[in-house]
Copies of this chain bind each other. A is one copy, B any other.
């Protein structure tokens, strides 16, 4: 799904498409490309301000809230106490592999579906709406770097 399609859907849903909102969408969309980097409100604000310098934080937060209610945006958290947001495209449900050192994340193409089934059996009266699966650890690059540091330490 392209950004333009998202815009069309929003308009269909009766959501006013201001330039600010379009920029927020664009920022979220760009964050999804390549390495899949959910962004903080601050990061999104900086991107939006490149084109519209006067945009206020409030606008970004409000827009993110609006999109979140529409199910277009999801909030994720990588245990560093920083809220991040990412676009949810059709069928774009996915999970994250997060490096505890550099904070970068990568999309995981797996879903603990069988686990969900077991959860539903365990709590039949609970209405499951969504789920998150996040794997934490150290990416190859950061492992390499910490190895270097170790070597230096030893060799001195």
Q: A17 within 8 Å of B by Cβ?
A: no
Please determine whether A110 and B119 come into contact, CB atoms closer than 8 angstroms: yes
CA–CA, A76 to B135, complex, Å?
13
Q: In the complex, which residues of chain B have a beta carbon less than 8 angstroms from the beta carbon of A108?
A: 119, 122
Please determine whether A114 and B116 come into contact, CB atoms closer than 8 angstroms: no
Instruction: For A77, give the chain B residue with the smallest CB separation.
Output: B77
Stretch binding the partner chain, chosen from A20-28, A50-58, A123-131: A123-131
Q: Do A140 and B115 form a contact, CB below 8 Å, given A75-B81, A77-B79, A133-B132?
A: no
Q: Do A126 and B138 form a contact, CB below 8 Å, given A79-B75, A97-B119, A115-B115?
A: yes
Please determine whether B133 and A133 come into contact, CB atoms closer than 8 angstroms: yes
Q: In the complex, which residues of chain B have a beta carbon less than 8 angstroms from the beta carbon of A81?
A: 75, 83
Instruction: With both chains docked as a complex, state the minimum distance between the C-beta of A40 and any C-beta of chain B, in angstroms.
Output: 12
CA–CA, A129 to B131, complex, Å?
20
